[in-house]
A and B are shown apart, each in its own frame.
Chain A
Amino acid sequence: MSEWALSLHDLVKDFDGKRAVDHISFAVKRGEILGLLGPNGAGKTTTIRMVMDIIAPDAGRVEILGEGLSDKVKDRIGFLPEERGLYRKLKVMDTLLFFGELKGMKAAAVRERGRRLLQQFQLAGYEERKVEELSKGMAQKLQFITTILHDPELLILDEPFSGLDPLNIELIQGIILERKRAGTTIIYSTHLMEYAEKTVDSLVMIDQGRKVLDGTLATVKAEYGQKFIRLQYEGDARFVAGLPYVRSCRDSGREMEIELEDLTKREQLLRDLLGKVTINGFQLSEPSLQNIFIRKVQEGAGA
């Protein structure tokens, strides 16, 4: 058994002469969580669709669980498409039965596991309701259940958190971690960097169809070094951007991520801040993925 759950080799896809995916290659280790990061329209969904054999790549190939994407391999993958959809007229349990059997499960097994998962997702008692009677959040949870119902070895989730309220985001994150502990390999795409930051083992960043960065979370962050200060404040701190030893800064209004030319300048910064703003917090920090991503994209645009 190969150490890789999924590997992409030089995938290319054009739509109407526009290159949507431009020679993307990466691999995912078994048992890892990989985040596929990038802004909207970067090519994340197109890449995932090629992996899932929904569209054919113009060039390149995909290896999944050690082989090509056959019918049998499809049974070992759980896929959550970006745009959710279920049969509106179908009852909840019938929905699980259909998608479970489509993944090669026996009806009895679907019922048993389905009940457990419905319980876990606070959907117990809804077995005989029609999908159209569920709230949007419930339908999203049901969709997630259909994705993990057959206990897949590989989970591919396209924007799993989009459209969810904070409670359900927490729930899904919990399930993702639980799956990981059970040995499942998980790939998910998102444009929300702060979620990825907390869960992924490694990441691939895509912008305009091109891979701009990949590696484990630790190596990526190390590459950018410890030159960042995270400042929580009240008042007007716009002058910080103009300070000569500040390379860049990202102001969120009450929190600021400041990149220094040199870490020794941190005391200077503190002195400059005193008396001008109220300081609520001041600490050394790693660069956020958000920051790294913006830097990468700007570099790409400049090059």
Chain B
Amino acid sequence: MNKLFAVIKKEYKTIVKKKSFIIMTILTPVLMAGMMVVPVLLMKVDRSDKKIAVADYAGGYTQALSAVPAEKSEKKKGGLDMDAMNEMPVTAGRISFQQVELAGRDAAALLREYEQKVLKKEIDGLLLIPADVKSQRQVSYYSTSISDFTTLKFIESTLRTAISKQLLLEKQIDPSVVDEATREISMETFKVKKEGTTKSDSGMDYMMSIFMIIILFMILINYGQMIMRGVLEEKTSRISELLISSARSTHIFYGKLLGIGLAGLTQVALWILLAALLVSRFSGMVDAAILSFLTPEIAFYFVIFFILGFFIYAIPYAFIGAAVNTDQEAQQFASVLSVLIIVPYILGISALQNPNSTLTLVASLFPLFTPILMFMRITTAVPPLWQILASIGLCVLTIWGLAWLGAKIFRVGMLMYGKKPSLGEMLRWVRYK
């Protein structure tokens, strides 16, 4: 047993002392914090410096658009103020709408001129409001980028409100009633969980989920490849002969797995600690949706599925390191294995949209996919406990089998030099005493 510990200690120390380990340990939470804070900041900065020219043939709408700040639009009550019409340009929020001097030109002539301006980026877009907008409810927007949904939605809803108001005012309705009738609605989303319903932002949830999976995916591949390279180094440098002649091959193999696994676990634990620290320190800056997402429960499952995933992928990576002779060969096999790890990730995208489908259930119980898929399900819609336990149980059985097989392949492969072994040969290794 002392030899097992000697191997564990050496593997653990080697990794933990590496510069890359220290850098990754610190950098990842910082990146994570960035991921949390940046979207919030982006939302505040996003609509800056947009200049939209408005060809307002109906009249009065530029003012309506400008009167409502682009953010928090529900707070302001916009009314049409005909007197201010000539004050140009008027700024609304961070989008500035500029009234175009029509000077009797028709829409086609105007468009020719402003298309050039759009292309030259003098303005971001041209909004064409025809004279009959009230009856036809049709406006046109010309821009090089028409994917900015928030701006488009803002224009759409502001114009709709303005038209509604005008229509109502024309019908001699009390202006205060008109304001009341056209007030905006805001929607909050809630996530229903067994532990209680929490306020949640579905977009943010989705993003966090993907983000955690990417981290899990990244460290599983990273630590797997670390084992592979380690075993290959021992094989090519013939350290393997020293090891085998000093200790039992099972002690070397399991010591290696445990040592590197513990190093990985240390990194994950440090991340959780740092994340908790950052969140508590800067809780004001962090989106509430993220706070509700990062529960101790999620951290617990992250650790569990990291451990399971580590063993499920690290052992095959160790096989590769023991079976091949050169780095290039190892990379070839490793890329095949990476594909196997990507599959649950791809399945997971559909699982996020439909977390309770049969396909998702079956796939998440398949041990090779469990670590990523089951964790993904837990982050979105918590599956029944029996499914979680069953998936963990199946993983443990698989790991037990892999470990047994791995020790044998390791023992023979480590000392087999020269040619690349065939699959049949590797199967024979298993029967080798």
A interface, CB within 8 angstroms of B: 49, 52-56, 71, 74-75, 77, 79, 81-90, 94, 97-99, 101-104, 146
Smallest CB separation, B408 vs chain A (Å): 13
Output the nearest chain A residue to B433 by Cβ-Cβ distance.
Answer: A56
User: What range describes how many residues of B lie at the interface?
Assistant: 20 to 34
Give 16 A-B contacts (CB < 8 Å), ordered by A residue.
Answer: A52-B244, A52-B245, A56-B433, A71-B248, A74-B245, A81-B241, A82-B238, A85-B239, A85-B242, A86-B239, A87-B233, A99-B242, A101-B9, A102-B6, A103-B246, A146-B242
Docked Cα-Cα span, A296 to B281, in Å, equals 83
Docked Cα-Cα span, A84 to B238, in Å, equals 7
- In the complex, whether B243 has a CB less than 8 A from a CB of chain A is yes
9 nearest A-B pairs in the assembled complex, by CB-CB distance: A85-B237, A101-B6, A52-B245, A83-B238, A81-B241, A98-B10, A85-B238, A102-B246, A85-B239
Contact residues in B for A52 (Cβ distance below 8 Å):
241, 244-245
Docked Cα-Cα span, A282 to B101, in Å, equals 121
Contact residues in A for B433 (Cβ distance below 8 Å):
56
Contact residues in B for A104 (Cβ distance below 8 Å):
2-3
CB pair A94 B13 closer than 8 Å: yes
Residue from A75, A86, A101 whose CB has the most chain B CB atoms within 10 Å: A101
Contact residues in B for A56 (Cβ distance below 8 Å):
432-433
Smallest CB separation, B161 vs chain A (Å): 67
Contact residues in A for B48 (Cβ distance below 8 Å):
none
B interface, CB within 8 angstroms of A: 2-3, 5-7, 9-10, 13-14, 233-234, 236-239, 241-248, 415, 432-433
CB pair B9 A54 closer than 8 Å: no
Docked Cα-Cα span, A55 to B242, in Å, equals 13
Contact residues in A for B237 (Cβ distance below 8 Å):
83, 85-88
Contact residues in A for B6 (Cβ distance below 8 Å):
98, 101-102
Output the nearest chain B residue to A91 by Cβ-Cβ distance.
Answer: B17
Contact residues in B for A87 (Cβ distance below 8 Å):
14, 233, 237, 239
Docked Cα-Cα span, A52 to B247, in Å, equals 11
Docked Cα-Cα span, A87 to B246, in Å, equals 16
Contact residues in A for B5 (Cβ distance below 8 Å):
101
Answer whether A74 and B246 are a contact pair too, CB < 8 Å, given A89-B14, A98-B10. yes
CB pair B3 A102 closer than 8 Å: yes
Contact residues in B for A54 (Cβ distance below 8 Å):
241, 244-245, 415
Known contacts A53-B245, A103-B246, then 10 further A-B pairs from the complex at CB < 8 Å, ordered by chain A residue: A54-B245, A54-B415, A79-B242, A87-B14, A99-B246, A101-B3, A102-B3, A102-B6, A102-B7, A104-B2
CB pair B2 A55 closer than 8 Å: no
Contact residues in B for A101 (Cβ distance below 8 Å):
2-3, 5-6, 9
Docked Cα-Cα span, A156 to B345, in Å, equals 51
Docked Cα-Cα span, A239 to B118, in Å, equals 103
CB pair A55 B415 closer than 8 Å: yes
Contact residues in A for B244 (Cβ distance below 8 Å):
52-54
Docked Cα-Cα span, A89 to B18, in Å, equals 9
CB pair A102 B14 closer than 8 Å: no
CB pair B245 A79 closer than 8 Å: yes
Contact residues in A for B2 (Cβ distance below 8 Å):
101, 104
Contact residues in A for B236 (Cβ distance below 8 Å):
85
Contact residues in B for A82 (Cβ distance below 8 Å):
238
Contact residues in B for A55 (Cβ distance below 8 Å):
415
Output the nearest chain A residue to B13 by Cβ-Cβ distance.
Answer: A94
Pick from A77, A83, A84, A102: contact of B243, CB below 8 A. A102
Docked Cα-Cα span, A85 to B234, in Å, equals 8
Smallest CB separation, B425 vs chain A (Å): 12
CB pair A49 B14 closer than 8 Å: no
Docked Cα-Cα span, A104 to B9, in Å, equals 14
Pick from B3, B234, B245, B248: contact of A77, CB below 8 A. B245
Output the nearest chain A residue to B245 by Cβ-Cβ distance.
Answer: A52
CB pair B14 A90 closer than 8 Å: yes
Smallest CB separation, B337 vs chain A (Å): 24
Docked Cα-Cα span, A202 to B9, in Å, equals 42
Contact residues in A for B248 (Cβ distance below 8 Å):
71
Smallest CB separation, B424 vs chain A (Å): 15
Contact residues in A for B234 (Cβ distance below 8 Å):
85
Output the nearest chain B residue to A102 by Cβ-Cβ distance.
Answer: B246
Docked Cα-Cα span, A17 to B243, in Å, equals 28
Smallest CB separation, B20 vs chain A (Å): 11
Docked Cα-Cα span, A83 to B3, in Å, equals 23
Docked Cα-Cα span, A56 to B415, in Å, equals 11
Docked Cα-Cα span, A146 to B239, in Å, equals 12
Docked Cα-Cα span, A252 to B346, in Å, equals 73
Pick from A53, A71, A88: contact of B3, CB below 8 A. A71
Smallest CB separation, A110 vs chain B (Å): 10
Smallest CB separation, A200 vs chain B (Å): 23
Docked Cα-Cα span, A146 to B246, in Å, equals 12
